[in-house]
Structure 1
Amino acid sequence: IKPGVLSDLGEADDWPKLREKILAADIFILGLPIWMGQPSSVAKRVMERMDAFLSETDDSGRMPAAGKVALVAIVGNEDGAHHCHAECYQALNDVGFTVPANGGVYWVGEAMGDVNFVDLPGTPEKVVSMIKMAASNAAHLAGLFKTKNYAGVPAGE
């Protein structure tokens, strides 16, 4: 994904295909690792490219992500999941996504540890419980949007 804030940066830009898939879905899950207490650079690049949504409004002022639900899933070996969720929620909300209650799921191992999520023998029960709640709330909200999207505000009102 090339850096930038447009929806299409031309040749060799993989964002337009990914953007199309994101906007075709009712629920978007931004999954990312924590690196040094921050969202990964790839996650930041995805949010950077969504900046284009700000200028891609319809006749009612709605951005392309209006009526779409977003969840954020984080893994890492250090603290900072809540900080990363906050950064991602704000960016996703700024470009039109709606984050449901309990819309964040995370697992963080011991700081400076050597155990990664993929090395666990299974998904911890607390994480499973968080996933179920996030999925349930996201599906509920997406269902509501299927019946009635945000009204928006027509130009000039």
Structure 2
Amino acid sequence: MRAIFLNATLKPSPEPSSTEELCRYVADRLAEHDVTCEHIRLVDRRIDPGVVSEAVSDGDHWPGVREHILAADIVVFGTPTWLGQPSSVVKRALERMDAMIAETDEDGVPVLFNRVAGVVVVGNEDGAHHCIAEIAGAAIDLGLTVPGQAWTYWNKGPGPGEEEYRTTGDREWTHSTGDAMAHVLAHAARALSAAPIPKPPNA
């Protein structure tokens, strides 16, 4: 089994990222379920705006990112919370994935079927549940399967502050929820692999 983590932090590498640290925690738990994990920090790639799978212009990296998504059984979207919203970076990735709704494999099965999705959220403000709901809803529209408890988050709570996931000592709930997230994603992905959803009647 393979998992791809799409990290939608606003911080380019090598700047430390709380989103990446929590994504890597979940990846370590998935590895315990024999899942090979890959991480892409989306802000390090040039992803042009659009709703097509092919390159929008020279230098658009989206086609390569798309290939990594299609090679995975598990797709995890990681995002910070800004103004109670998912980052603009993850929204752009979802917009590009919109093109995949109309794409099918050689058997007529939508290309994102039989993959599961999860969500990781961090931020020093409220909004994690809203971000999870927005991303999960988009993932379902795309054809991904979102099982229950396929998410974890850390947030400081309302108001400004310097504390963040990378520096806090208060991680117990976030990590126990991340443990459950990895457990659910791995088992749901294996279930779909064993009994894949066939071509739907409206395809």
TM-score by length of 2: 0.72
What are the residue-to-residue correspondences of 1:8-157 with 2, within 5 Å? 8=54, 9-58=56-105, 62-111=109-158, 112-121=160-169, 124-154=171-201
Is contact 2:48-2:57 (8 Å) kept?
A: no
Q: Residue in 2 aligned with 1:7?
A: 53
- Measure, in 1, the Cα distance between the counterparts of 2:105 and 2:72: 18
Is contact 1:60-1:154 (8 Å) kept?
A: no
Aligned-residue identity in percent: 43
1:70-109 deviations in whole A, cap 9, x for unaligned? 0000000111111111100010110111011101110001
Is contact 1:50-1:95 (8 Å) kept?
A: yes
Task: Count matched residues.
Answer: 155
- Measure, in 2, the Cα distance between the counterparts of 1:148 and 1:10: 39
Q: Which runs of 5+ in 1 are unaligned?
A: none
Residues 69 and 43 of structure 1, relative CA distance in 2, 3 Å threshold: same
1:16-67 deviations in whole A, cap 9, x for unaligned? 1111111101111100000110000001011000100122134665321100
TM-score by length of 1: 0.92
- Measure, in 2, the Cα distance between the counterparts of 1:65 and 1:71: 14
- Measure, in 1, the Cα distance between the counterparts of 2:202 and 2:181: 35
SS in 1 for 2:166: helix
